């Protein structure tokens, strides 16, 4: 069964990939999961558990702990404040069918289409000994009013405890069509071994509010519908596949993965656009996978969606060029403009995509010929000889074809020639290391300097053939008529007797030009050879198409590492290292597989 049997695009994230993402977020943004009073923020050594932050967090002086509001001692009118800390020290996601042993209150076995979360929550309170409390100053009060600043009760350590916290839930799309978001839903939450039961219930109630109103909205994917530019030729619009009998759950939580089914609409890109030029592409090299087992991320595009994308890119593609060549007795210049039509795209299980009978329609194919005919002179012979030597009267001497070229004419045959292309293509991923990046730079330095590395997806041509055909017989008539008219025009100022004499000397005009051009009896073969070989029109077509499949035109580029949370003030952005990206083709779909770095 293909991944895209019931959709255009399929995306799945394995639970190991989700946990790797959580690990990167916690290490790079530790202040999201560690909270404390001012003294704890100033001295993280007071925390109940050590914070394992990424080195760049400390290099850039990012906080390890978010400062929380003071914890007042009740019934003192806010006169005293205590130090405290709250930490999330472990977070693990498990997707159905599930391997985490859940507490009995939640059902020991994870139900279908559900995820489980196991976390450890540690908290500490600064409780000094009684002798220190006895020495605290007693604030002076007036009725209804406290005098002086609050007294912070300092401590050299926190009294800590840790609780195991389990939660189960699902995932759903929310929001209006065109602006849907992927959001987690909380079904149940349980704290293990907290007594008495009423205290456990109260704490669980509070934590459910924290999860539903604070945590889950932050973890939602903000926009499911998005657009992507393809080679500047087409725009891909993606949105969720509606639920139906063949897609009973979207998203689906099964096989240790969160699966999303998407529909794809491809439209031509709008002309113009603006916005300046993109940075130059730095060609990469293939990079093998270093891990085994399930991929962290799997995405697939169905064959129908691939064909639709091909059709839009085909219908939007065009090129134009011009040039000239000199062949001794004649020269040729040309102007070419063409677009693509027809053709089929098929996927094959040998990791290739085959394009057959793709037509190149020439909107403009203007050939201008310059012919250099050897100079011919008539007349100049002696009419009345001088008996004593020399000549008393000579006939007028007339010379023609003294210029180079002597004859110039153009043929517009754009509507008469069609080229046919057949290609065998294979997807290829490469890793591009930016040469401007020094070894001393970390990923954040490179991102700040605008010189990150990239994963690149190319469509690599294995074979690329062009056949020039369908040159109508009328081309021969056009060429002969153009040459004959050009010679008649060139000889136009001459008297009739001189025209007849020159033509008699030249023989049939077209035969002479054929001899000079050396295209023999088969005009179509000669013109095909001229266009395809001498002028390199085949190469022009191949080059124009190959340019969009070449190293400086990847279909996609993804920065490595990939930003998943933007910078927030002085806080560094959270970057996700992409360890591997691979692409393969089956008989039914194009599959992209990726691993997240550790």
pLDDT per residue as tens, the chain (598 positions): 789 999 999 999 999 999 999 999 999 999 999 999 988 999 999 999 999 999 999 999 999 999 988 788 887 777 888 889 999 999 999 999 988 888 888 877 888 999 999 999 999 998 877 777 777 776 655 555 455 677 778 788 899 999 999 999 898 887 776 667 788 888 888 888 787 888 878 887 888 888 887 777 766 665 455 555 555 666 777 788 888 888 888 889 999 999 999 888 877 766 544 444 456 678 888 999 999 999 999 999 999 999 988 888 888 877 787 877 776 666 778 788 888 888 899 999 999 999 998 888 888 888 787 777 677 777 777 877 887 778 877 777 777 666 666 667 777 877 777 778 888 989 989 999 999 999 899 999 999 999 999 999 888 888 877 776 545 444 555 566 666 666 666 666 666 666 666 666 555 555 555 555 555 445 455 555 655 554 455 566 666 666 666 556 777 788 999 998 899 888 999 999 999 999 999 999 999 999 999 8
| Spatial contact of 431 and 453, defined as CB atoms under 8 Å apart | yes
Residue-wise DSSP of 299-351: EEEEHHHHHHHHHHHHHH-EEEEEEEEE-SSEEEEEEEEEEEE--EEEEETTT
User: Which residue shows structure tokens 């990469």?
Assistant: 284
User: Distance between CA atoms of 88 and 317, rounded to whole angstroms?
Assistant: 53
| Spatial contact of 31 and 65, defined as CB atoms under 8 Å apart | yes
Structure tokens at 492: 């136009």
Residue-wise DSSP of 196-262: SHHHHHHHHHHHHHHIIIIIHHHHSBS-S-EEEEETTTEEEEEEEPPPBTTBSSSSEEETTEEEEEE
User: Distance between CA atoms of 436 and 451, rounded to whole angstroms?
Assistant: 7
Taking alpha carbons only, the member of 404, 410, 333 closest to residue 374 is 404
- DSSP state letter for 105: G
pLDDT in tens, 117-161: 999 999 999 887 777 777 777 665 555 545 567 777 878 889 999
User: Distance between CA atoms of 342 and 357, rounded to whole angstroms?
Assistant: 7
Beta bridge partners of 352: 348
Taking alpha carbons only, the member of 537, 411, 521, 535 closest to residue 469 is 537
- DSSP state letter for 7: S
Structure tokens at 525: 């073969």
- DSSP state letter for 100: S
Structure tokens at 580: 């591997």
Taking alpha carbons only, the member of 183, 45, 38 closest to residue 115 is 183
Residue burial 350-361, b: 16+ Cβ < 10 Å; e: rest: eebbbbeebbbb
Helix 474-490 vs helix 509-517: crossing angle, to nearest 10: 110
Q: So what's the pLDDT on residue 274?
A: 42
Cβ atoms within 10 A of the Cβ of 514, count? 18
User: Which residue shows structure tokens 């940075």?
Assistant: 279
User: Distance between CA atoms of 417 and 236, rounded to whole angstroms?
Assistant: 33
Taking alpha carbons only, the member of 449, 452, 448, 450 closest to residue 434 is 452
pLDDT in tens, 469-499: 545 444 555 566 666 666 666 666 666 666 6
Q: How far is CA 463 from the centre of its chain?
A: 24
User: Distance between CA atoms of 460 and 351, rounded to whole angstroms?
Assistant: 11
569: left (phi over 0), alpha (psi -120 to 50) or beta: left
Helices (H), 116-192: 130-134
Taking alpha carbons only, the member of 126, 49, 135, 132 closest to residue 91 is 49
| Spatial contact of 2 and 590, defined as CB atoms under 8 Å apart | no
pLDDT in tens, 497-515: 666 666 665 555 555 555 5
Expressed in percent and rounded to 5, the helix, strand and coil fractions of the chain are 25, 40, 35
Taking alpha carbons only, the member of 235, 295, 226, 232 closest to residue 262 is 226
Taking alpha carbons only, the member of 299, 304, 336, 319 closest to residue 232 is 319
Cα three-residue angle 341-343-346, rounded to 5 degrees = 150
- DSSP state letter for 275: S
Q: So what's the pLDDT on residue 346?
A: 94
What are the C-alpha distances in Å from 423 to residues 261, 324, 460? 30, 28, 10
Strands of 181-191's sheet in order across: 66-67, 34-36, 84-95, 115-125, 159-174, 181-191
- 403 Cβ contact list (under 8 Å, min separation 6): none
Structure tokens at 568: 């927030």
Structure tokens at 218: 């932050």
| Spatial contact of 13 and 182, defined as CB atoms under 8 Å apart | no
């Amino acid at each position: 069964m293909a991944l895209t049997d019931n959709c255009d695009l399929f995306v799945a994230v394995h639970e190991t990939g989700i946990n790797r993402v959580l690990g990167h977020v916690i290490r790079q943004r530790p202040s999201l999961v560690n909270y404390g009073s001012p003294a704890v923020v100033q001295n993280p050594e007071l925390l109940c558990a050590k914070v394992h932050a990424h080195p760049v967090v400390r290099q850039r002086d990012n906080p390890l702990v978010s400062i929380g509001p003071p914890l007042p001692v009740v019934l003192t009118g806010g006169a005293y404040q205590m130090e405290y800390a709250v930490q999330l020290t472990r977070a693990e996601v498990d997707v159905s069918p599930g391997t985490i042993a859940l507490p009995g209150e939640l059902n020991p076995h994870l139900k279908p289409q559900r995820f489980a979360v196991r976390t450890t929550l540690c908290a500490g309170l600064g409780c000094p000994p009684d002798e220190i409390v006895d020495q605290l100053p007693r604030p002076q009060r007036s009725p209804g009013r406290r005098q002086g600043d609050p007294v912070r009760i300092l401590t050299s350590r926190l009294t800590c405890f840790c609780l195991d916290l389990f939660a189960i839930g699902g995932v759903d799309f929310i929001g209006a069509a065109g602006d849907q978001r992927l959001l987690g839903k909380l079904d149940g939450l349980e704290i293990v071994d907290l007594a008495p039961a009423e205290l456990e219930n109260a704490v669980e109630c509070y934590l459910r509010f924290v999860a539903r109103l604070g945590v889950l909205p932050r973890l939602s994917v903000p926009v499911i519908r998005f657009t992507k530019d393809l080679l500047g030729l087409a725009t891909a619009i993606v949105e969720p596949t509606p639920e139906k009998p063949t897609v009973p759950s979207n998203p689906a939580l099964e096989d240790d993965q969160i699966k999303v089914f998407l529909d794809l609409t491809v439209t031509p890109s709008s002309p113009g656009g603006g916005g300046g030029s993109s940075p130059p592409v730095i060609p990469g090299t293939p990079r093998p996978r270093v891990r085994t087992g399930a991929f962290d991320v799997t995405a697939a595009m169905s064959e129908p969606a691939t064909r639709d994308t091909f059709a839009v890119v085909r219908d939007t593609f065009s090129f134009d060029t011009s040039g000239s060549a000199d062949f001794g007795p004649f020269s040729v210049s040309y102007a070419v403009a063409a677009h693509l039509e027809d053709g089929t795209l098929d996927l094959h299980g040998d990791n290739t995509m085959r394009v057959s009978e793709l037509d190149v329609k020439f909107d403009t194919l203007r050939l201008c010929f310059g012919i250099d005919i050897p100079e011919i002179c008539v007349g100049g012979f002696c009419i009345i000889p001088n008996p004593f030597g020399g000549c008393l009267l000579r006939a007028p001497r007339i010379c023609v074809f003294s210029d180079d070229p002597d004859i110039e004419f153009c043929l517009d045959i754009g509507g008469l020639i069609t080229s046919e292309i057949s290609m065998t293509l294979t997807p290829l991923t490469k890793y591009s290391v930016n040469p401007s990046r020094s070894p001393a730079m970390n990923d954040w330095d490179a991102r700040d300097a605008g010189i990150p590395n990239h994963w690149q997806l190319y469509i690599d041509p294995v074979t690329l053939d062009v056949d020039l055909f369908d040159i109508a017989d009328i081309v021969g008539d056009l060429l002969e008529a153009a040459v004959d008219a050009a010679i008649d025009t060139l000889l136009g100022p001459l008297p009739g007797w001189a025209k007849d004499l020159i033509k008699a000397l030249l023989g049939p005009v077209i035969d002479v030009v054929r001899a000079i051009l050396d295209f023999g009896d088969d005009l179509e073969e000669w013109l095909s050879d001229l266009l395809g070989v001498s002028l390199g029109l085949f190469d022009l077509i191949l080059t124009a198409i190959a340019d969009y499949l070449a190293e400086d035109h990847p279909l996609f580029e993804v920065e490595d590492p990939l930003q998943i949370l933007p910078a927030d003030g002085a806080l560094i952005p959270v970057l996700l290292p992409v360890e591997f990206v691979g692409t393969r083709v089956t008989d039914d779909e194009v599959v992209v597989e990726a691993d997240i770095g550790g």
